[in-house]
Structure 1
Amino acid sequence: MRRFLFLGMLMSVVVPIGFARADSASAISGKMADLPSGEAIYRHICQSCHMADGQGAVGAGAQIPALAHNPRLQVTSYPATVILNGYGAMPWFSGLLSDKQVADVVDYIRTHFGNNYKDKINPSEVAFMRPHLTAEEQ
């Protein structure tokens, strides 16, 4: 009995010790090479939280911001940085999407949902903003 209690106490100390990782969409499944456009990326990844109409949502203890008529999208680097690094409850997608895919989805959300921002972000700008990932994170 004492041995059982000792093992139980030992496991309660040993098991919780481990690596804590931020939520990452890259843990989902490799790369999203088959998503050829900003719209396809939005429909496949973003709309589950931001909704098909870009209106955002509230629930599960989180408030998902609306992308529709969003003045924060005026500067191209803001949505690109959020997509690459995550923000709040949103996971980061830097290990999942290529520079071109990030640029495509940024351009898509900035020209849809009542947004009319004409300037585009270049994939080379996204590459400059991209965080450096370890091999394990890629």
Structure 2
Amino acid sequence: MKLKFFTVVLTVGLMSQSAAFGQDFVQSGTAPTLPQREGKEIYNAICSGCHMPDGVGAVGAAAYPPLAKSDFVGSKEATAQWVIKGYKAMPPLGDVMDDEQIAAVVNYVRTNLGNAYDDEELTAAEVADIRTW
């Protein structure tokens, strides 16, 4: 009986801990947005979990498209809209990132990971406009 009780308590404890870790991945503390401010930091905190640190994507429980050397991120406006509102299985992240953070991560992806889009960088003002689409 004691072993069964211990097993239940341990299982519930581990389950509650994993839920807290999942929440901390997206949002730390009580801040309304992610604490990271630089594109690479944001990418590493949010995007790399699915798209991988080097941007090559992954296939497993789901398919995560590559962002490295990708035409998929060719349009800064479309990429920003996908980050804000989600795209297919990708969740919307507009509620956990402000306009400057979205611009930073979109610009990072479009100029790193083997991408070299040389048009003008996305601005926070453009992101604010894209949110209204």
Instruction: Give the shorter-chain TM-score range.
Output: 0.7 to 0.9
Give the aligned CA root-mean-square deviation in angstroms: 1.7
Q: 2:124 corresponds to which residue?
A: 123
Hey, which of these two has a bigger chunk of helix by percent? Answer: 2
Q: 1:110 corresponds to which residue?
A: 110
- Give the gaps of 5 or more residues in structure 1: 1-24, 133-138
Q: 1:71 corresponds to which residue?
A: 71
What is the CA–CA distance in structure 1 between the aligned matches of 2:89 and 2:75, rounded to whole Å? Answer: 22
**1:49 maps to 2:50:** yes
Q: Secondary structure at the match of 1:92?
A: coil
- 1:131 deviates by 4.9
Which structure carries more relative contact order (alpha carbon 8 Å, separation 6+)? 1
- TM norm structure 1: 0.71
Kept after mapping to 2: 8 A contact 1:94/1:131: no
What is the CA–CA distance in structure 2 between the aligned matches of 1:82 and 1:115, rounded to whole Å? Answer: 18
Identity of aligned residues (%): 39
Which one has a bigger Cα radius of gyration? 1
What is the CA–CA distance in structure 1 between the aligned matches of 2:56 and 2:132, rounded to whole Å? Answer: 28
Q: Secondary structure at the match of 2:122?
A: coil
Equivalent residues in 2 for 1:1-138, closer than 5 Å? 28-29=26-27, 30-32=32-34, 34-60=35-61, 62-119=62-119, 120-131=121-132
Q: Which amino acid aligns with 1:40?
A: E
What is the CA–CA distance in structure 2 between the aligned matches of 1:43 and 1:72, rounded to whole Å? Answer: 19
- 1:74 deviates by 1.7
Q: Secondary structure at the match of 2:45?
A: helix
What is the CA–CA distance in structure 1 between the aligned matches of 2:99 and 2:37, rounded to whole Å? Answer: 12
Kindly report structure 1 stretches of 4+ aligned residues shifted beyond 6 Å.
Answer: none
Kept after mapping to 2: 8 A contact 1:57/1:65: yes
Q: Secondary structure at the match of 2:63?
A: strand
What is the CA–CA distance in structure 2 between the aligned matches of 1:56 and 1:94, rounded to whole Å? Answer: 21
Q: Secondary structure at the match of 2:59?
A: strand
What is the CA–CA distance in structure 1 between the aligned matches of 2:53 and 2:75, rounded to whole Å? Answer: 22
**What is the aligned length?**
104
Per mean C-alpha deviation after superposition, the further-off stretch among 49-58 and 73-82 is 73-82
- 1:83 deviates by 0.3
What is the CA–CA distance in structure 1 between the aligned matches of 2:74 and 2:52, rounded to whole Å? Answer: 20
Listed one character per residue, the Cα deviations across residues 20-58 of structure 1 (whole Å, up to 9, x for unaligned) are: xxxxx9xx54311x2020000000010000001000011
